[in-house]
Amino acid sequence: MNPARIVFPGFWFGQSDPAQAQELARRGVGGFCVYGGTAAQTLELTRQLNEVSPYGKLLFCADIKEDLTEVISDAVPLPANVQVAQCDSVQDAAYRKGNLLGRMARAAGIDWVLAPVVDLGYASPSFGDEPFALTRVAGDMLAGLSNAGALSCLKYFPGVSGALKTLPQLEDAEFVPYKHLFRRADAVMPSDMLFPNIDDNAQAMLSDKILKGLLKKRLNYKGCVVSFPLHKARLRYEEASAIKMLHAGVENILAPKHPESVIDAVEREVRKGSLVDQIMQSISSHEMFIGKISSGPEPEKIEDVFKAAEKAFN
């Protein structure tokens, strides 16, 4: 059991040091969140890091809200979620978007598309503000991702639009997509926001009340929970926050500002006899995810799937 496996460092092309990334891979991290490279650069990076990993296969993540242009500089842009929700054939459009996202990601070496956003009517990533309509559209996008061989993630629990709502109001609205889509998604990502009507002392991703009390107990979610990417979270003390969120029920720490320090902190906690069962569960999830990817369709050539994406919505 290697505690480093629950950490997924970020890699920013043009900023991050490839040698440092290789050292982290050798140390045994579970994967990386990649940002800012071309598809070809990203594919080559994933090849190099897989070669030096003790596992032989890492999980590479795309932290997106709308499409891959947010993390791959030459990716083909796809319609915004709000545009998809307004299409005449909305279910077909949502499926095609998810399928193309997954196929482009896999062609670039990315296995895990951290999408869709299922917040209700919150800014541009939203599919809409009606819970059941949003659930149907997000479900079709999940089907497209899955059939492309990519992993998925629902976010941002418990729903950014519900920050000031009572628990019964959340039950009737923000929780609806999660309750209906849990079994179809590979993970859930909590918000980095404060939900004062539920827990006025901790952000959602640090909150026992929200993760253990609501997500896992009240909604009976049994799957994987990944952190909000730490590099853009509003955290004062990254190491202590990482440990707190692990105790609250998060299984994987994404894109910390200081991955080595976070790994050190997790290893210290394990030496105390803490978090062992949770880390074993996280590693079991990784193995299951790798098996799912391996049994899915083979990645396409970058140029072929990009051409398909260019034609898909014209």
Predicted structure pTM score: 0.93
Collapsed DSSP state (helix, strand, coil) of residue 62: strand
Residue 6 has pLDDT above 90, yes or no: yes
pLDDT at 110: 97
34 against 126, higher pLDDT:
34
Q: What pLDDT score does 144 carry?
A: 95
Q: What is the pLDDT of residues 213-245, one digit of tens each?
A: 999 999 999 999 999 999 998 888 999 999 999
- Whether residue 202 is predicted with pLDDT greater than 70 in this model: the reply is yes
- Binned at pLDDT 50, 70 and 90, residue 314 comes out as low
pLDDT of 43 > 70? The answer is yes
Whether the pLDDT of residue 85 is over 90: the answer is no
Strand order in the sheet with 154-157: 154-157, 187-190, 224-225
Mean pLDDT, the chain, rounded, equals 92
